[in-house]
Amino acid sequence: MEWITLTIDGRTVTVPKGTTVLEACRMNDIKIPTLCHDPELTPAGSCRLCVVEIEGMRNLPPSCVTQATQGMVVSTHNKKVREARKTILELLVANHPLDCMTCQKMGDCSLAEYAYEYEVTGSVFQGEKRQLPLDDSNPFILRDPNKCILCGKCVRVCEEIQGKSVLDFSFRGFNTQVGPAFNVPYSESECVFCGSCVAVCPVGALTEKEMKGKGRPWEVEKVQTTCPFCGTGCNFDLNVKDGKVIGVTSNPEAPVNGRHLCVKGRFGIDMVHSPNRITEPLIKKDGEFVPASWDEALDLVASKLGAAKDNYGADAIAILSSARCTNEENFLMQKLARAVIGTNNIDHCART
């Protein structure tokens, strides 16, 4: 691998050749604001918030699409750069609804975070506000085009990660929108409801419908767990408030899936608090199921299996496993069948 050396804010750093200025900064814990950039997606350079000053260049280039070169001298937070970023934010806020107090995204909104950091109030430019209808046709995703900042992250994640290409830009100028082809509602598009667009949206344009009004990010405890819907082992964060799961958000640190989930993993968690859910072992006594402790239930199962094996042989027992378990749990189940009970009669519902 070929390496290059450059200077960032007076620091000499070494990075692999082909690294962008933004990547070089983040490799060295130098913070640069971004709204359209995502490390998993193709760089777009559309929001321009990541501009930096590079010695020898007349303009301020966006660092996310500017490759670092040998001997480059970069300034990331001088007065000129900060004023440029503040102006960009003022222009964004000029057309953006300022209903932060009631916005579901507040506390997890990149635009609000940067506006606070750069002391943007929305008073410099008085732009026209969009008055577009909300799209709540999708059973899981609420789309508010008035809050969209046209960063394009949802477009790219749908095309590059999911391979669906449901979303794209339409119209021109101030009337530009992001949505399905012909601007049809989500429910009439080819959307598979994976929610990846929600995961990458930096503002309140795309939010989880079921979580609306149920809790602010700072009120929610995030508990990382494994998705129970199949054996892939995807991880996500349960959003818990007052001891109750109010929704799921993806975790970029998840080792299997990163931020990406299917519709069941992201939106199918309402079964947790279903009144029909069985939450404790039941044992049939006198023809009726009654609650029992785990020790009592497991002892009963072990005794029944042991008696069947003693009376009829190990091959009289068969075990059916589930695709809703993890791969590790299914592995343990077949070990139980083969090593403990002594039978190869084990099958899996996903085989069919």
- Measure the CA–CA gap between 81 and 63, rounded to whole angstroms: 12
- 286 and 306 in a single domain? The answer is yes
Picking from 61, 74, 107, 53, the residue whose alpha carbon sits closest to that of residue 5 is 74
pLDDT, tens digit (0-9, with 9 covering 90-100), for 17-68 = 999 999 999 999 999 999 999 999 999 999 999 999 999 998 999 999 999 9
Give the pLDDT band (50/70/90) at residue 350.
confident
**Domain harbouring 231, CATH code:** 2.20.25.90
Domain count, the chain: 3
| Mean pLDDT (the chain, rounded) | 92
Does residue 162 lie in a domain region?
no
- According to DSSP, the β-strands at 235-241 and 244-249 are antiparallel
Sheet holding 3-8, edge to edge: 11-16, 3-8, 73-75, 53-54
Q: How far from the centroid of its chain's Cα atoms is residue 130's Cα?
A: 27
Q: Give the pLDDT confidence of 247-261 residue by residue, as tens digits.
A: 999 998 999 999 899
Domain span at residue 302 reads: 282-351
- Contact yes or no for 19/63 (Cβ under 8 A): no
Euclidean distance between the first and the last CA atom of the chain, given in angstroms as a whole number: 47
Non-local CB neighbours of 285 within 8 Å, separated by 6+ positions: none
- Reported as a pLDDT band with limits 50, 70 and 90, residue 232 is confident
Task: Identify whether residues 265 and 323 lie together within a single domain.
Answer: no
In a domain, 235, yes or no: yes
Q: Are 319 and 309 in contact (CB under 8 A)?
A: no
For residues 83 and 118, give the distance between their C-alpha atoms in angstroms, rounded to a whole number: 9
